[in-house]
Structure 1
Amino acid sequence: MFPLQLLALTAVSTATLAPPQEEQEKKKQEVEKKKQEVEKSRYDVMFRRGDLLEVPRTLFTHFGIYLGGDRVAHFIPDILPVVSSDQFRIKQVVTNTRLILGVLAKCGSIRVDSVEDFAYGSEILVNPMDRMCSRAALQEEDVACRAEKLLGNVEYSLLWYNCEHYVMYCRYGTVMSFQTFQFCKTVRKLLLSRRVAKATALLLLCLLLYLGAASVGLVLLTALLPFIIWMAA
């Protein structure tokens, strides 16, 4: 009888000492919550609400507005909101496939992500546009409020309305993109040059001789198009 009582007491004491599964889960959640709070406070020390954040990518630079509490509002092309209503999937980090398809379909969303997801492993620059933009930055709270007000699905354009246009409006009250300007300037240099004008004139002249038909329209095109390119260069 005594061994049975001893065994029962041992089992009871073991059950008492072992924490229930619910308590373990609760403790795990508390630890995770504390980690998140530490992470949030760390970023709140590094950035201020309304700061413009810039991260260099392979082919372009991405921009966002820091909202505080490890949250960044940014405009990114994304095809998923168009083809799915699953909010859990939509809230996941935007993959390159989603991004490229979003650019092609001209659809995107102004969304809020963590600083880590926004940076995607790149170095973060803070308010670099303050030195480039001729306009003074708005009040920090006004910047953040503008960024939050525009959250949602928005038509995306690589040249005419991208992430830089979005942050420039939020922080400086102007819709412009230095990246777009630089791209258009480069294209203009490549296409609208005197060398291109000469090459165009030569090609059109060869076409005219090859066809052997000197129509008025073709003659005008041969003379006018190189002239326009020459004058625009």
Structure 2
Amino acid sequence: MPLEGVDPKDGDLIEFMRDLFQHWGIYVGGGRVVHLTGQEGFSCFSSAFASTAIVKMEPLETVAAGCIYKVNNKYDDKRRPLPQTKVVRAALEQVGKRKQYSVTSANCEHFVTELRYGESFSHQVDIAKTYFALGGLSFVLALGVMAAFSSLRNKQKQ
């Protein structure tokens, strides 16, 4: 189920909204998407605990699997996309290949950004790392405050 105004062009990044994350594919024309996925084909998340995934070309609606999706070339304002024909050709050349997979360094978003921009990166991984770091920092600060209060209370009892 696409969002309003979804009219993908060859080489566009397609973002599929899953429950806990986003899945990414690259539109190659004819209603088809090339994406990095697990054996089950639902998303790269099915490969989260495996070290490899496979590149598939499937109909856009099959990859969406009832989820909302949209064209999201969100990096175009910061990076110059490669020519559409080069992006599509490179994507099609990957179909059927088994690739190394890592949630943090070689996931489906890394795969499509490499194809579109010639550079692999994942904003959702960067966000997760930031939240993880902030969560860890908050935990350490909370421990420090509790230790300070405990120390103060022990001094007051003496």
1:33-60 per-residue CA deviation (whole Å, 9 max, x = no partner) reads xxxxxxxxxxxx9322211111110000
Please, what is the CA RMSD of the aligned residues?
A: 2.7
Q: What displacement does 1:147 show?
A: 1.3
Q: Does 1:47 align with 2:8?
A: yes
1:204-231 per-residue CA deviation (whole Å, 9 max, x = no partner) reads xxxxxxxxxxxxxxxxxxxxxxxxxxxx
Q: What displacement does 1:197 show?
A: 6.2
Superposition pairs of residues 154-233 of structure 1, within 5 angstroms? 154-193=99-138, 195=141, 198=144, 202=147
Distance verdict in 2 for CA 1:53–1:198, change over 3 Å: same
**SS of corresponding position for 1:198:** helix
Within the candidate set 135, 140, 144, 2:79 is matched to: 135
1:147 maps to 91
Stretches of structure 2 that go unaligned for 5 or more consecutive residues are 1-5, 148-158
Runs of 4+ in 1 over 3 A off after TM superposition: none
Relative to the length of structure 2, the TM-score reads 0.77
Q: What displacement does 1:196 show?
A: 5.1
State how many pairs are aligned: 141
1:151-200 per-residue CA deviation (whole Å, 9 max, x = no partner) reads 31112111111010011111111111000000000000011345156279
Stretches of structure 1 that go unaligned for 5 or more consecutive residues are 1-44, 79-92, 203-233
1:69 maps to 30
Larger Rg: 1
Q: Does 1:123 align with 2:68?
A: yes
What is the percent sequence identity of the aligned residues? 29
Q: Which has the higher helix share?
A: 1
Question: 2: CA distance between counterparts of 1:99 and 1:169?
Answer: 19
Amino acid at match of 1:163: C
